[in-house]
Amino acid sequence: MNTLQVSPNILQWAADYCGLSVYELIDLLKAPASKHEALMSGNLTIGQIEKLAKKTQLPFGYFFLDTPPQINLNRIPDLRQLPEAIPLSNNFFDTLDDILHKQQWYLDYIKEHGINKLDFVGKFDSSISIEIIASDIRNTLNLTMQEQKKCTKFEDFYRLFSNKAEDIGVLVFKNSIVKNNTRRSLSVNEFRGFAIADNYAPLIFINGKDFPAAWIFTLAHELVHIWLGKSGISNISDEQIDLNNKLEKYCNQVAAELLIPKKLFLDAWEKHPEIEVLSKEFTVSKQMIARRAYSFNKISRKDYINATQVKKNMNLTKKSDNNHSDPYRSYPIRNSKRVTNAIINTAMSGDMMLREAASLLNIKPHTIIELSKRRVN
């Protein structure tokens, strides 16, 4: 059968778009292993190209280009800073579409119920001092340091933190897969989170593939985006030192002040100048404590880099957060507890078909009934 030459650059781009390696992309063709080398070099038949186009959901004609096309799929600004970031794949865009669909439903829902505009969205700009905006976020959330320090695990603090955000009207979603598909994992190398600063239904998405301690920092970072009224996709982490984007740098600084106020940190450091001790005291990562210590000239850059290197090594063994023994606890976390409750209440009152409610939450209709019997908290 005659073959055509597809540019290897196009194959790499198509693989990146799907969140796959080139080998995994070619494996979609189910060809014998002996054929893989030729296929990966771009020697494909028309039928194979058609199959790849269908599998990747990319236009057939794209595979005949010499260089990857410029596709502006972003509905929110791409503010990612880490140099190792890979192109956003359709796993990301399908997740974004799913979240936007839920947000639109919720906007219609709250308009029917007369919900008011949220005054904290876009309340400040980046000319405001870091301390003022961090204090305002904490006060609006009604998050006390006593509550924070009572949390003995990162997961506990994240739960407290996200619940506080939901209580004031911020929709918080956390998932490590696309919708409910365990075969489509999200990648931390793509993004850690994103924020959409809507005046009525602001939302934050947390990539659950990350560490629990990272969920906390990402949530804090994205909350700053909400307070600034600036939507965006982020992949920064708590240990990042040099950032080119002024907005992301500012959001990082406010997030650090929000979670570990300068005065409290310096007082604690005087008593116990140990990273591990303060990590437990503030219920944040050791890397974040190291970052604060470095910022205030309490440790050297070398010691700081050594502390962050530990995290990079740990990333090799990180497991997905979706292995819940009780899936009913995970559904509201994936879909925002506030949104989940609204959908369930609407369905059980008869104002929405169970099938439609289930589709919104990416679950089965009978699961809606079961969820209605349980408290979503």
- Concatenating the DSSP letter of every residue in 271-330 gives H---HHHHHHHHTS-HHHHHHHHHHTTSS-HHHHHHHHHHHHHHGGG---TT--S-HHHH
- 280 vs 240: CA distance, rounded Å: 21
Say if strands 181-185 and 177-178 run parallel, antiparallel, or are unpaired. Answer: antiparallel
Q: pLDDT at position 316, please?
A: 39
Q: pLDDT at position 88, please?
A: 83
Tokens coding 197: 């600063």
From the list 97, 7, 4, the residue with the least C-alpha distance to 15 is 7
Q: pLDDT at position 240, please?
A: 56
Q: pLDDT at position 377, please?
A: 47
CB 176 within 8 A of CB 208: yes
Average pLDDT across each block of 10 residues of the chain; the chain has 377 residues. List them in order. 86 80 88 89 91 84 84 69 73 91 93 90 95 98 97 97 98 96 90 94 96 95 96 75 75 96 97 94 94 93 80 46 69 96 94 93 93 72
What letter represents residue 36's amino acid?
A: H
Largest Cα span, the chain: 75
